[in-house]
Amino acid sequence: MNVLIIEDEPTAAKRLERLLKNYDADIRILEKLDSVERSVKWLESHPSPDLIMMDIKLADGMCFEIFKKTEVDTPIIFCTAYDSYAIQAFKVNSVDYLLKPIDEEALYSSLKKFKKLFMNTNMQPQSKNLHNLMAMMTANFRDIKERFLIKSGSKFISIPVEKIAMFHTENKLVKIVTFENKSFVIDQTLDELENNLNPLHFFRTNRQDIISIHAIKSIEQEYGSLSVILSISPKMEIIVSRKRMKDFKQWVGG
């Protein structure tokens, strides 16, 4: 099993390496990195490890900046002195969240959990269902919305999520668009909505749109771009941003 350690405290990194080796002498530590910048460069120039052990606060910033700068599709066990980032951690491939000083038994329990979820008997990562599994894990830590209360004129109406085809930003206004192609302004940002929608049913395709899996009529790829035709009238075409294309294909493919 190949493991990457991202930790800015040399003593903590060495202790973590020792604990991993004690758990399994065949574990190979690929590298010990201490910053966002070094981690991004390493991840972009090396094959994906089987597992990443990651601290939250690094030498040059928060580890979550790594996920904004490069694609990370590897399971992660977070090891940190801070307990206030657990929900944020579970949005980015987290298997577990351990508080420092790392307890040996807690670490071994996390490693067993990782093996059970992601490794087969030949010790090869089971990546096929990684996206959906992470989505379900993330959902457990979110306040998942089942309906939205919208003001329409002098009245309020409740819109169940299953009637929503997409969320769309236009002229700095965020709108709900139903399958009946009715549009309602909502007082939430797409970032907030992304955190409150079931990730198995909704996907952020770009900066302007979040779409429902049930709204997809067809998907077309041409000259490196990916466009989604929605099943609402009139015809609406959504372009998937390049950095989200891989995750989108995994999301659609289940």
User: Tens digit of pLDDT for each residue in 158-201?
Assistant: 999 999 999 999 988 999 999 999 999 999 999 889 878 888 78
Considering the domain architecture, whether residues 61 and 180 belong to the same structural domain is answered as no
Model pLDDT for residues 112-138, shown as the tens digit of each residue:
888 877 765 444 444 444 455 445 444
Considering the domain architecture, whether residues 29 and 111 belong to the same structural domain is answered as yes
Q: How many domains does the chain divide into?
A: 2
Task: Estimate the crossing angle of helix 104-118 against helix 10-23, to 10 degrees.
Answer: 60
Model pLDDT for residues 42-90, shown as the tens digit of each residue:
999 999 999 999 998 899 988 888 988 888 888 889 888 765 555 455 5
Whichever domain contains 188, its CATH number is 2.40.50.1020
CA distance 51 to 222: 34
Considering the domain architecture, whether residues 57 and 31 belong to the same structural domain is answered as yes
| Amino acid at site 252 | V
Rounded to two decimals, the pTM is 0.50
Considering the domain architecture, whether residues 123 and 205 belong to the same structural domain is answered as no
- pLDDT computed for residue 224 by the predictor: 79
| Torsion sign over Cα 73, 79, 84, 86 | positive
Considering the domain architecture, whether residues 75 and 178 belong to the same structural domain is answered as no
Considering the domain architecture, whether residues 161 and 244 belong to the same structural domain is answered as yes
